[in-house]
Structure 1
Amino acid sequence: MNKEQLTYFIKKRAYELSFLECGISPSGFLEEEAPNLERWLKNEYHGKMKYMENHFDKRLNPSLLVEEAKSVLTFSYNYFPKKLQNPETYQIAKYAYGEDYHIVIREKLLKLVEEIKVMVGDFAYRVFTDSAPVMERAWAQKSGIGWIGKNSLLLSKKKGSYFFLAEIICDLELVYDNPFKTDHCGSCTRCIDACPTQAINEPRIIDSKKCISYLTIELKDEIGKEFNGKMNDWIFGCDICQDVCPWNRFSTPNSEEKFQPAPHLLNFTKKDWIHLEETTFNKLFKKSAIKRTKFSGLKRNIFMS
């Protein structure tokens, strides 16, 4: 099987596994991204996410993750829900409506890897689902999936931004896609204007210390009093900068059974969230990304909202 046939096979199977897109880029050092990452860390925009300071070189060079890496395969997977929470209750980010995406998407990628092995034999690879020092949005842009918007998320003209990104880094030589070079945000500043905590310092630069997603998930300490009245009822993550993005008018509901929200989630009232007990929390969110914040963190978030 030559590289053209293998590339066709991989993309065909990716779509059959319900991925929105599969873009492929040659592996290499992310020269343009290096100074931006260094500046972001120097300004301490990562807050208390100390792990962001680790593996600086690995974030920029896939060959330090997979020896002799030749290709970075980037996949996008839709999570936009068919039904939304009641807007009058406490809100959680749409990506957390269903089962934990790390597990769901990783299983699909590993299935694809096994099918590739049948075609070409063993090869060196690693699978990533937001689980290692990989600059996934940079690779997604280099593989032609979309561009990085002013809210720092990857945007697609046809799909919006409500999708997960995942990667396979491997030593297979494949046919590569052209990088996405056009910025279709134009003069729009809706995401910047809508952020209640002013976390978007400048286009594509997020001060995590002010981001509601960081405050409700990553931050383990108490949320600062300066955010009182600014959380807009978000208790796990935040979708404000996506909800206002004009490109998300093209988002369509996902068909992944494991991402469908349980009825209790959509029907929860503020009273239900306030009176939620730890045993019920552990039962309801056993397979959910919401468990990341832990029961104590969720209660903290509710109090701040």
Structure 2
Amino acid sequence: MSILITISLLSEKEGFVDWGFAPVAEIGESYSRFSDYISRGENADMGYLARNMEKRKDPSLLVPGARSVICFLAPYSSIKSSVAAFALGEDYHDVIKDKLHRISLHLSQECAKHGLEYQGRCFTDSAPVMERHWAAEAGLGFIGKNNFLISPKYGLRTLIGVIICNIPPEWLGERKEKIAEGCGECRRCIDACPEGALYAPFRLDARKCISYHTIESHELYSA
């Protein structure tokens, strides 16, 4: 069985709705935007975001010999709530990582058949990996003015799982085309942000953000 078919079958089996890949490379514009965000202090007291900046820029520092970044999308609840929807229910970090580890195990076995000693790590929003950048590079969506990855088919209510590995990109089949930015002149997300945290395209001040205060902040928040 080819690596491509293996990933496609496992992705569907694990409940991911889409997947794609991009070759490992240093990050340019997305990294600069993130670095500026940190410089403005808009990460509030999330000091961990300012650590390991070089690893964010170059994923090969996380996985020596890395060749490919494989990204997966999983939908999450559309329930309306005063807290972020992805914070409801079971911890998505554990759920997504378990799925990725199962896929990674199969990839290791398949690579061995092709004479490659597999090296890979699984990530989902808990390490210095710019998941949205890589998902956009993998053709799974575009990054909107709200800083979310927006999938043309599944919208913005998706979680991103990432496997950084040493599988050559050419083993993964034809790469999806990148999706053009689709926001245009729309600014509904900016106008709708209840606390003005999203104050300009791609500009989010966590100090004003409800999601930050209900998930990350250690201070009492009243909705």
- The alignment's TM-score, normalised by the length of structure 1, stands at 0.67
Q: 1:92 to 1:199 in 2, by over 3 A?
A: closer
Please point out which of 74, 84, 105 is paired with 1:114: 105
User: 2: CA distance between counterparts of 1:179 and 1:208?
Assistant: 32
Tell me what 1:71 maps to: 68
Q: What is the CA-CA distance between 1:132 and the residue it aligns to?
A: 0.3
Aligned letter for 1:199? A
Give the equivalent residue in structure 1 for 2:210.
212
Partners of 1:77 and 1:9 in 2: how far apart?
Answer: 18
Query: Is 1:180 matched with 2:178?
Result: yes
Q: Is 1:45 the counterpart of 2:42 in the alignment?
A: yes
- Counterpart in 2 of 1:57? 54
1:125 to 117, 120, 126: 120
Residues 141 and 179 in structure 1, CA contact (< 8 A), matched pair in contact too? no
Matched, 1:97 2:88: yes
Q: Which runs of 4+ in 1 moved over 6 A?
A: none
Aligned length: 216
How far off its partner does 1:96 sit? 2.7
| Separation of aligned partners in 1, 2:144 and 2:207 | 20
Query: Which residue in the other structure is 1:170 paired with?
Result: 165
- The 1:40/1:179 distance shift into structure 2, 3 A limit, reads farther
Structure 2 gap segments, 5+ residues each: none
Tell me, in whole angstroms, the C-alpha distance in 2 between the residues paired with 1:92 and 1:206: 17
CA displacement, residues 226-277 of structure 1 (integer Å, 9 cap, x when unaligned)? xxxxxxxxxxxxxxxxxxxxxxxxxxxxxxxxxxxxxxxxxxxxxxxxxxxx
Q: 8 Å contact 1:69–1:169 — kept in the other structure?
A: yes
Supply the distance in 2 between the matched residues of 1:93 and 1:34 (Cα, whole angstroms): 25
1:170 maps to amino acid: C
Q: Which runs of 5+ in 1 are unaligned?
A: 222-299
Q: Choose the corresponding residue for 1:195, options 193, 196, 202.
A: 193
Indicate the residue corresponding to 1:141 in structure 2: 136
What is the root-mean-square deviation of aligned Cα atoms in Å? 1.7
For residues 78 and 216 of structure 1, the distance between their equivalents in structure 2, rounded to whole angstroms, comes to 21
Distance 2:210 2:141 in 1: 25
Is 1:16 aligned with 2:13? yes
Report the alpha carbon displacement of residue 179 of structure 1 after superposing the two structures with TM: 4.7
SS of the equivalent of 2:154 reads coil
1:212: Cα distance to partner? Answer: 0.9
For 1:63, the aligned partner's letter is: S
> Aligned equivalents of 1:58 and 1:33: distance in 2?
14
From the superposition, tell whether residues 179 and 206 of structure 1 become closer, same or farther in structure 2 (CA, over 3 Å): farther
Per the TM alignment, residue 152 of structure 1 is displaced from its structure 2 partner at its CA by: 0.6
Separation of aligned partners in 1, 2:178 and 2:206: 26
Structure 1 stretch displaced more, 103-112 or 63-72: 103-112
Matched residues in 2 for 1:204 and 1:56: separation?
19
2:83, 2:210 within 8 Å by CA — same for their partners in 1?
Answer: no
In 1, Cα distance between equivalents of 2:128 and 2:55: 6
CA distance, structure 2, for counterparts of residue 60 and residue 24 of structure 1:
17
State the identity as a percent.
36
